[in-house]
Amino acid sequence: MVLTHLKAARTALTSPLTFPESLTYQRDKAAFLVTHPTYHDPSLSSLRKHEFGRLGASVYLDYTGAALYPSSLVRTHARWLRTSVAGNPHSDSPASLLSSSKMEEARRAVLAFFDADEAEYDVVWTSNASGGFRIVGETYDWAGRRVLVPRDAHNSLNGLARLAQAGGGRFEFIEFDAGEQDAISRRAYVERLTQPSAQKGLVFFTGQSNITGTKLDLSLLPLAKQHGWHVGLDAAALAPSTRISLRGLDNSVDFMVVSLYKICGYPTGLGALLMRKERYADLTRKKMFYGGNIIGITMDRFDFTLVEGPERFEDGTPNFAAMASVKDGLEFAARWMDRVRSRNDVLMRWLVRELDGIYYPAQPAVESESAEKAKRSSSFSSTSSACSAPGPIKLVRIGGPTTSTQRGTTLPLVLTSPSGHALNYRFVIFAAARLGISLRGGPCMCNSGASSSVMQRGLITDLAASTLLAEADVGLVRVSLGTATNFRDVWRLVDFVRKLTVHEWRMDMWRQFESVYPGREMCCDIEELQKRATAKR
């Protein structure tokens, strides 16, 4: 599998537009600027050129996966590394004290970025947002308590729910609303939060779905606190594009997890758990110790005493050399966040409208390009009529909120074949890569609830069905905008999707795809696959 991915990576092209494509692009951009005058911002154009010039002709649209780091951040950090002598911080030598000072500077920078009162909050260093969930899940006293988890939770939060169950508590879901598209309404949250119950515990909110881009109404956080809940916030997807003021939320958030590389691109492998200091009294179930977080230990039974403060949860030595870049990275993100969000809101509205209007050309009811294979494959719809459809078929089904005010800069797409069945997501990612476009795709993308909702396949409770769907490359394609995104990027994406409606171009891409991923099918009937998986049981 690794070799296959390496082979696929070498197929990516980053060539500029052809002359006819360039003319079309210039025409479309001129029309766009007329109808969207607020897009024009010379400072952002300069930022793209000087900080992200390495993009060249390539298109990067996976900012929810990882932000791109600005070149100046890497240069500044490299200069510090070349001129500094930084050692393991668990000592009082000059080299250790330098590292310790940078770690504390970075903690203060995180608190400042989220407008968190230093008297109220601590910062625990983790390797990523998932690490923050793990700390809370493993050490929170779950006995007699429950955790409320939204159905659109990231898998890291779903994992915390399992830890709650193992720790003597229980978990409950807040379900999607029937009247909302791939979202949980404020009403659904309020009903669950205000139910009279002696068994409270922790409610962990998704700040912004990593799949649908649905943004949480943050006023729910103080409401939950008022009704006796401890409050957690998964801010991994929200923090890169939205200013979060913990002080402005009345210090109602007890735990918040973030990954720094999603905010400023660098350093990777560094995240943070922001927690209210008064919650130390609830994180009493830590059963193990490692280097750097104990002050006393017995030699017969290894009883131990943890250090005070956030270091008690930092197992081993943190990535101290990377800490020197945190302050500069967060300051860069804060400086540009408002301008970037304003521009990307404009681009997202244009992108949704354009993608929503792309159809396959009307065709007679004949077998599609995969029909012949369908007759040989039980994983594909087995009838030729299911592989073709009369009349125009919309190529893209867009998931998530129907209004731009509820959506962040993330867009989930289900691309269909001329039959109306789901296109192989891996094929879509491959074909986009051939044009130098980086997208994200997968059967779940670490969010089983939201992905199932967008694909309209219901909540999967059969593990065999889930595995079969993944092996058949049934999944979503996710588009997400970020700091360096411009009109050319989203135009290139739309142009690519339109190319998929051209039979000859699509088949040429499919032949190239088959040379890397042999034995795959171009599209699948999700319902049929689920039936087959259930029948196997």
Q: What pLDDT, on the 0 to 100 scale, is given for residue 330?
A: 99
Q: What pLDDT, on the 0 to 100 scale, is given for residue 365?
A: 45
The full DSSP string for 414-483 is EEB-TTSSEE-HHHHHHHHHHTTEE-EEESSTT-HHHHHHHTT------HHHHHHHHHTT--EEEEE--T
**Nearest CA to 205 among 164, 170, 160, 242?**
160
Mean pLDDT of all residues in 156-172 = 90
258 has pLDDT over 90? yes
Tallying the residues shown for the chain, one arrives at 537
For CA atoms 491, 493, 494, 498, the dihedral sign is positive
Please state, in angstroms and rounded to a whole number, the distance separating the CA atoms of residues 131 and 134: 5
Tokens matching residue 330: 């967060």
Q: How many helices (H) and strands (E) does the chain have?
A: 19, 17
Q: What pLDDT, on the 0 to 100 scale, is given for residue 423?
A: 92
241 has pLDDT over 90? yes
313 has pLDDT over 60? yes
Mean pLDDT of all residues in 488-493 = 98
Dihedral, 142, 143, 145, 149 alpha carbons, nearest 10: 30
CB 191, CB 135: distance < 8 Å? no
Mean pLDDT of all residues in 453-467 = 68
In whole angstroms, how far apart are CA 463 and each of 20, 158, 448, 475? 49, 16, 12, 16
In whole angstroms, how far apart are CA 159 and each of 46, 209, 233, 256, 450? 42, 16, 15, 16, 16
Computed over every residue of the chain, the mean pLDDT equals 86
What domains does the chain contain, in order, with CATH numbers?
Answer: 20-68+337-536 (3.90.1150.10), 89-288 (3.40.640.10)
Q: Please identify which residue in the block is written with the tokens 């588009």.
A: 479
Instruction: Label residue 420 by pLDDT band (50, 70, 90).
Output: confident
